[in-house]
Amino acid sequence: MAENVRVRFAPSPTGYLHVGGARTALFNWLFARHHGGTFVLRIEDTDKARNTPEAMQAIFDGMRWLGLDWDEGPQKGGDCGPYFQSEREDVYLRYFEKLRAAGHVYDDGGAWRFKFARKKIIMDDLVCGRVEVDMADAATHPDMTIRRPDGGWIFHFVNVVDDIEMRITHVIRGDDHLSNTPKHLQLFEALGATPPRYGHIPLILNPDGSKMSKRDTGSAVGWYEENGFLPAAVVNFLCLLGWNPKTTQEIMSKEEVVTLFDIANINRKAAVFDIAKCEWMNQQYLMRLTPEQLAEKCEPFLVRAGIMFGTRDALVPVAALFRERMKHLTEAPASMAYFFTEDFEFDAEAVEKALRKPGALDRLRALREAYAACDWTATALEAALKSCATAAGVKAGEFVHPARVAATGRAVGASLYHTLEVLGRERVLGRFERAMKQFG
């Protein structure tokens, strides 16, 4: 692709950053990076009644969290600014006067309408292929309002003007805009400008075929950050919502996707959103972190829960235990709390099954004696427990369950022997003693 590729993401700051908008931004970002082009962020904030500073910040925060850095736009600058539509009034007036001087618009009760040429429009869409729209009938394609009686501009007009001024070469957007494109192409023609190439990507639907709404789980980008997803996992998941890398590989870094990304491989049919698949992908990414990296990611969630873990060095061996078990970073507080306090609660059902069972506390006492004398490694702790079970003539589980509940307060968790190793001899023996007194 010889031309200098310039694409844009143009959200309206009227709500949170929707996952569909984030995927549109991602596909534009990937296209720009693949072709060594420019990714422009433009804020379409002409709807003053619905715009909010909070929504604006959510766009910036969400894109930065996903790692979608923009080359031109708010907080970055560039040669084609300003990048807020609310600051571009002079530009729109200049183009409006151009249309009026050429006789392309007329006054209709205070509103200004653009006169469509009554002809067939042919589009060569990068995703949908050849699309023909016959605009001959004014009943089905009435002339388009581009300026309201109050002077406010309609989306179609300012969108086209900005794409001309910002030298946009490709427009990649949702296929809900496909019906707008013939209107936009007529505006480009009337203004004597070369239109960009269009690619309309399929919408994201729920598994039942319905369109994702604000109430659906995972519809807001901020939800993923709050619920302990890694940005890289979410980006990987969004890449595969409608795009096919033509490989069997599912786990791909952003850098790998940039290399592979081809707009021709975007599917035509709607993408189905599956939060369980996103959770699986997040788990794959968590498993690939080093214990040090996972500790760093867990830290803010533990702090938010009020868990005093001391230094990050103390957190690293604990994080290592849960690296292959976690689906979300939000699991960290509940999973790890008992490593950092002696004042943990016992699960009542686990106590009944493991510690109130006949002979359970006798077995715990025997295990405590064995543990007081053995080496403190996971291997030695496992061998000592199995030796106790053999001597008592019972299965190892009869010792495992009381030991786990006494040491952690719960029936399930990470590898028991590695858990005990990380807790340390003194704390484990003390917890066994506490359980024997409390439940004896």
Q: Check whether the bond before 82 is cis (ω within 30° of 0).
A: yes
- Cα first-last separation, the chain: 77
Span 74-99, pLDDT tens digits = 999 999 999 999 999 999 999 999 99
* Across 322-341, average pLDDT: 96
Could you give the CA distance from residue 242 to residue 45 in angstroms, rounded to a whole number? 28
> Tens digits of per-residue pLDDT, 131-177?
999 999 999 999 999 999 999 999 999 999 999 999 999 999 999 99
Cα gap 165→162, rounded to integer Å:
5
Q: Which of 214, 246, 254, 327 is catalytic?
A: 214
Structure token pair of residue 416: 């028991």
Residues 45, 86: Cα–Cα separation, whole Å: 6
Please give the Cα distance from 398 to 358 (Å, whole number): 11
Q: Is 276 left (phi over 0), alpha (psi -120 to 50) or beta?
A: alpha
Please report the pLDDT score of residue 108 as a whole number: 98
CB 261 within 8 A of CB 244: no
Please give the structure tokens belonging to residue 1.
């692709």
Contacts of 306 (CB under 8 A, 6+ apart): none
Q: Please check the confidence at residue 415 and state whether its pLDDT lies above 80.
A: yes
φ, ψ (nearest 5 deg) of residue 171: -115, 115
The reported pLDDT for the residue numbered 47 is 81
Measured distance CA(164)–CA(195) in Å, rounded:
8
Percent share of the chain, pLDDT over 70: 100
The residue behind tokens 């702090």 is: 303
Rounded to 5°, the CA angle 278-279-280 comes to: 90
Q: What percent of the chain clears pLDDT 90, i.e. is strictly above it?
A: 93
- For the chain, the helix, strand and coil percentages under 3-state DSSP, each to the nearest 5: 50, 15, 40
pLDDT in tens, 277-304: 999 999 999 999 999 999 999 999 999 9
Across the range 120-137, mean pLDDT stands at 96
Task: Check residue 43 and report its DSSP letter.
Answer: B
Q: What is the mean pLDDT of the chain?
A: 96
DSSP state of 187: H
DSSP 48: T
DSSP per residue, 396-432? THHHHHHHHHHHHSSS--S-HHHHHHHH-HHHHHHHH
| CB distance 20 to 176 below 8 Å | no
Distance CA 376, CA 374 (A): 6
Query: Is 120 labeled as catalytic in the residue annotation?
Result: no
CB contact at 8 A, 396 and 386 = yes
Secondary structure class of 102 (helix, strand, coil): coil
Model pTM?
A: 0.93
Q: What is the DSSP letter of 308?
A: -
Q: How far is CA 217 from the centre of its chain?
A: 12
For residue 70, what are its two tokens? 């923009």
